Amino acid sequence: MNARKKTKINWFMIILLAPALMLLSITIVVPVVTVIGMSFMRYNLMDINNIAWNNFQNYKDVLQDAQFFATFGRTLTYVVSTVCIQFIIGLTVAMLLNTRWLRGQKIFRGLLFLPWTIPSLVVAVVWMFTFQPQYGIVNYLFQLGNYSMLGNPGTAMLSVVISAVWKQMPLMMIMLLSGLQTVPEDLKEAASIDGATGWQKFHAITIPFIMPVIKTVTLTSIVSNFQMFVLFFTMTGGGPVRVTTTLPLYTYETAFSGFNMGKGAAVGVCWLGFLVIFSTVYNKVLAAKEVQY
Amino acid sequence: MKVKVSNKVLVYLGVVAITIIFIFPIYWMILTSIKPNEAILRLPPQFIPKGATLNNYKNIMGDGKFVVFYKNNVIVSTVTTLVTLVLAVFASYAFSRFRFRGSRFLQMLFLSTQMFPAMTLLIALYNMYFKLGLLNTYTALVLACSTNALPMSVWILKGFFDTIPKSLEEAAYIDGSSKANTLFRVILPLIRPGIIAVGIYSFLISWEDFLWGLTLVNKTEMRTLASGIAMTYLGEYNYDWGRVMASAVTAAVPILIIFIFLQKYIISGLTAGAVKE
């Protein structure tokens, strides 16, 4: 009886899992396989009846395209600066809010979380108005005259980074704060008694303790910022002189404006490959810095 | 331990300053939306409104487009939330309760789908939806948005299911309750906070969708809010900022209100997963 029960198919479990698996198969697995297939094909929307194997031509095109590497570099600049800045601000705010004697912690936390609830397009619009050259508040406060933050190659990326940080910092801060709240006070007090300085406590107790949280939030943020499309599309359109053309915009242009679906697919596959390798390495490196109590 | 007064003052000043900086753009957006046009274009800017007007709101409500975008967005987000909730509750319950070969691998796969660039998937999805005749339909948008929301939702809910002891179900089974009945009548009521958190999360994800609304739809009457605002009010060379800000405020308000009333569920739901692992 028992042996039979073990080999019996658990229909209840299958029924529970089937709908979610079906959705993800249709909208993720099938497209990923299709895109990988397309990346090896001559696939042009202007010449849709002539789809054929083209001997890695798309990949050759991508790897010989100086624009691709420039785009990749700009994407890295955007991702690294956005994640670093929001991590530093997020951790600082979280540590301030985690101060034991601070009153109104919940009110500050609630207020600081508000930007996260603002839809990304609205974020773009609000910051476009803030950076408006003639009557924008930033130009007024910093006496920039008619200087256009978004229209100038030197500051366009910075402006997008600022708006991205504004929207994303709250989530980072909330996660780090909840991590900080799990650091036992007595451990820090014991260290103080032993004569540890503030920096030593931070470095040797706090950081290792919240390392799992840091790992999760930064990796999530890196991966999702690689995908950032709406801010660039709305605020700069990739300009001026392409300084804000990042991978999503480049893929969009190649595949949909340039009608070269094959090359667009190849760009996407390189991008996906990079993220898979990167997140594996990132997890390994940071896992080494964790401590188990 | 005694804390120096000067330190206390510094911490309070820091927190207040950062809060003001982060809240200011929201205040500025709302303020601009109720200013008359000549006040918006005036320097120095008015930080406190003189003579508020609702003209910008009347403008967008009366132009016949904004209301359509809004309706579409409400439909897509509501259906997406329901679909995501059902799928996520089922899947996360299975992950939490049953050990089977490949369970961990499947869970990892669920989470890693967030890594796949949406823009890349779009190349394939566009063709697929085109062939199926699903472009310009709610179905396509709901499928796309549910996919975005599902992985995190499963992750959050599994955390909530994991906190409930298995003995509870065993007791219910002994009492003769069926498996489905146990899940719906006994277990689900216990994870209500998790369901609320995931409901809000998936509503927010689909409410703020831009990419799918931009690419899977090309008819004005099927546009959703974000892409609709971008295509309609940002298309001209000289923006009518009052109108743009009124549409922005109206787009942001539902989520702001939900957040103000249910913030404890959102925060606990979002942070539960990160801290546990």
Per-residue pLDDT tens for B195-213?
999 999 999 999 999 999 9
pLDDT tens for each residue of B14-25 = 999 999 999 999
For A140, the closest of B45, B146, B215 (CB atoms) is B45
Phi, psi of A44 (to 5 degrees): -120, 130
Euclidean distance between CA atoms A24 and A41, whole angstroms: 25
CB B171 within 8 A of CB B235: no
**DSSP character for A176?**
H
Kindly determine whether residue B15 and residue A255, on different chains, have CB atoms separated by under 8 Å: no
How many A/B residue pairs have CB atoms within 8 Å? Answer: 260
CB B154 within 8 A of CB A20: yes
pLDDT tens for each residue of A173-194 = 999 999 998 888 888 888 888 8
For B123, the closest of A166, A247, A255 (CB atoms) is A255
The torsion region of residue A81 among left (phi > 0), alpha (psi -120 to 50) and beta comes to: alpha
pLDDT tens for each residue of A260-289 = 888 889 999 999 899 889 888 888 887 776
Which residues pair with residue B34 across a beta bridge? none
Provide mean pLDDT across the span A240-252: 91
Pull the structure tokens for residue A27.
Answer: 């909208």
Higher pLDDT, B264 or A169: A169
Which residues pair with residue A44 across a beta bridge? A260
What pLDDT does residue A2 have? Answer: 47
Kindly determine whether residue B114 and residue A224, on different chains, have CB atoms separated by under 8 Å: yes
Euclidean distance between CA atoms A126 and A128, whole angstroms: 6
Kindly determine whether residue B90 and residue A20, on different chains, have CB atoms separated by under 8 Å: yes
**DSSP character for B115?**
G
Euclidean distance between CA atoms B213 and B122, whole angstroms: 12
A197 band by pLDDT with thresholds 50, 70 and 90: confident
Kindly determine whether residue A97 and residue B114, on different chains, have CB atoms separated by under 8 Å: no
B127 band by pLDDT with thresholds 50, 70 and 90: confident
For A268, the closest of B29, B120, B230 (CB atoms) is B120
What pLDDT does residue A110 have? Answer: 92
Kindly determine whether residue A115 and residue B215, on different chains, have CB atoms separated by under 8 Å: no
Higher pLDDT, A20 or B40: A20
Q: Is A3's pLDDT higher than 60?
A: no
Kindly determine whether residue A230 and residue B226, on different chains, have CB atoms separated by under 8 Å: yes
B277 band by pLDDT with thresholds 50, 70 and 90: very low
Sorted by sequence, the CB contacts under 8 Å of residue A246 that are 6+ apart come out as A71, A74, A75, A78, A228, A232, A238
What pLDDT does residue A7 have? Answer: 59
Sorted by sequence, the CB contacts under 8 Å of residue B181 that are 6+ apart come out as B172
pLDDT tens for each residue of B132-163 = 999 999 999 999 999 999 998 998 899 899 98
Provide mean pLDDT across the span A100-116: 91
Indicate which of A12, A27, A99 best probes the interface with B, i.e. most B CBs within 10 Å of its own CB.
A27
What pLDDT does residue A292 have? Answer: 53
Kindly determine whether residue A113 and residue B100, on different chains, have CB atoms separated by under 8 Å: no
- B-chain CB neighbours of A121 within 8 Å are 208, 210, 225-227, 229-230, 248, 251
pLDDT tens for each residue of B166-195 = 888 888 888 888 888 888 888 999 999 999
Provide mean pLDDT across the span B48-62: 85
As a whole-number percent, the residues of chain A with pLDDT over 90 amount to 44
Using CA coordinates, name the residue in chain B closest to A33.
B124
Q: Is A52's pLDDT higher than 80?
A: no
A42 band by pLDDT with thresholds 50, 70 and 90: confident
Q: Which amino acid is at B224?
A: T
What pLDDT does residue B238 have? Answer: 64
Q: Is B55's pLDDT higher than 90?
A: no
Q: Is the ipTM of this complex over 0.85?
A: yes
Sorted by sequence, the CB contacts under 8 Å of residue A180 that are 6+ apart come out as A94, A95, A98, A206, A210
What pLDDT does residue A145 have? Answer: 83
What pLDDT does residue B236 have? Answer: 63
- A-chain CB neighbours of B260 within 8 Å are 110
B2 band by pLDDT with thresholds 50, 70 and 90: low
The alpha-carbon gap from A154 to the nearest alpha carbon of chain B, in Å, equals 23
Q: Domains in chain A, please, with CATH?
A: 66-287 (1.10.3720.10)
User: Residue B205 to residues A25, A109, A113, B142, B147: CA-CA distances in angstroms?
Assistant: 20, 21, 16, 11, 10
- B-chain CB neighbours of A109 within 8 Å are 267
Q: Which sign does the torsion angle of CA B172, B173, B178, B180 carry? A: positive
What pLDDT does residue A4 have? Answer: 47
CB B52 within 8 A of CB B34: yes
For B263, the closest of A102, A110, A272 (CB atoms) is A110
- A-chain CB neighbours of B18 within 8 Å are 89, 93, 96, 112
Mean pLDDT of chain B: 88
Higher pLDDT, B271 or B192: B192
Pull the structure tokens for residue A159.
Answer: 């402006």
Q: Is A86's pLDDT higher than 70?
A: yes
CB B158 within 8 A of CB B110: no
Pull the structure tokens for residue B208.
Answer: 């703020």
The number of beta carbons lying within 10 Å of the beta carbon of residue A72 is 17
B247 band by pLDDT with thresholds 50, 70 and 90: very high
What pLDDT does residue A97 have? Answer: 93
Q: Is A15's pLDDT higher than 60?
A: yes
Burial class for A97, CB neighbours closer than 10 Å (0-12, 13-18, 19+): buried
B237 band by pLDDT with thresholds 50, 70 and 90: low
pLDDT tens for each residue of A133-187 = 888 888 888 888 888 888 889 899 999 999 999 999 999 999 999 999 888 888 8
For A117, the closest of B14, B120, B255 (CB atoms) is B255
The alpha-carbon gap from A287 to the nearest alpha carbon of chain B, in Å, equals 12
The alpha-carbon gap from B240 to the nearest alpha carbon of chain A, in Å, equals 11
What pLDDT does residue A232 have? Answer: 95
Pull the structure tokens for residue A125.
Answer: 């619009």
Provide mean pLDDT across the span A188-214: 86
- A-chain CB neighbours of B25 within 8 Å are 115, 126-127, 130, 166
Provide mean pLDDT across the span A22-34: 92
Indicate which of A36, A108, A114 best probes the interface with B, i.e. most B CBs within 10 Å of its own CB.
A114
Using CA coordinates, name the residue in chain B closest to A105.
B15
Kindly determine whether residue A108 and residue B19, on different chains, have CB atoms separated by under 8 Å: yes
Long-range contacts, A21-30 (Cβ 8 Å, 24+): A21/B91, A21/B106, A23/B87, A23/B143, A23/B146, A23/B147, A23/B150, A24/B110, A24/B113, A24/B147, A24/B150, A26/B143, A27/B121, A27/B125, A27/B143, A27/B144, A27/B147, A28/B113, A28/B116, A28/B121, A28/B147, A30/B124, A30/B128
